[in-house]
Amino acid sequence: MSELLNKLFLFLGLADEDTSKKTSYDSEPYEGQEISRTRKQQVNQTKLPVKQEMRVIVAEPTNYDESIEIADKIKFSYPVVVNLHKSTIADQRRIIDFLSGTVYALGGNLQKLGPQIFLCYPENIEVEGRISQVLEEAQQQLNN
């Protein structure tokens, strides 16, 4: 009677085939055949912070031609502080235009640190805060 009910449930899709009726050739895998696991184990993966040595390049270009070398440093994921004090006003504008296009194309950013001083950094670098914020905090600490 139970066999009849099992067949009925199997026909209706309410039960799975009886796995107890295995033949001897189903019990062992063939030579060279891997046994597959029906359940996958879930593993929680967490990225651990890795202490890497960070290198910051300081560049003082005197003309526009030196901006290509700066762009290469940014392309290789180095942040670059660019001091434009030694270049002419016309070259300063061209250098900043070129570097802003470079960091935009690489997904990075360009941040002004002070008069004629800029920080160009690629997308893998995160910069927090502002220079003016740091100066304000330092001034408040001096006043207290």
Domain ranges of the chain: 57-143
Run of H or E including 141: helix 131-143
CA nearest to 86, candidates 70, 66, 69, 104: 66
Reported pTM:
0.55
Rounded Cα gap, residues 37 and 16, in angstroms? 18
Q: Which residues pair with 81 in a beta bridge?
A: 58, 119
CB 55 within 8 A of CB 77: no
Whether domain 57-143 has CATH 3.40.50.720: no
Rounded Cα gap, residues 118 and 33, in angstroms? 62
Q: What is the pLDDT along the chain (144 residues), one digit of tens a residue?
A: 677 767 767 766 676 665 555 555 555 655 655 555 555 555 566 666 656 677 889 999 999 999 999 999 999 989 999 999 999 999 999 999 999 999 999 999 999 988 899 999 988 888 777 766 766 777 777 787
Q: How far is CA 111 from CA 3, 49, 118, 131, in A?
A: 77, 26, 6, 10
CB 97 within 8 A of CB 129: no
- Write out the two tokens for 76: 């290789």
> Beta strand 117-121 with 109-114: parallel, antiparallel or unpaired?
antiparallel
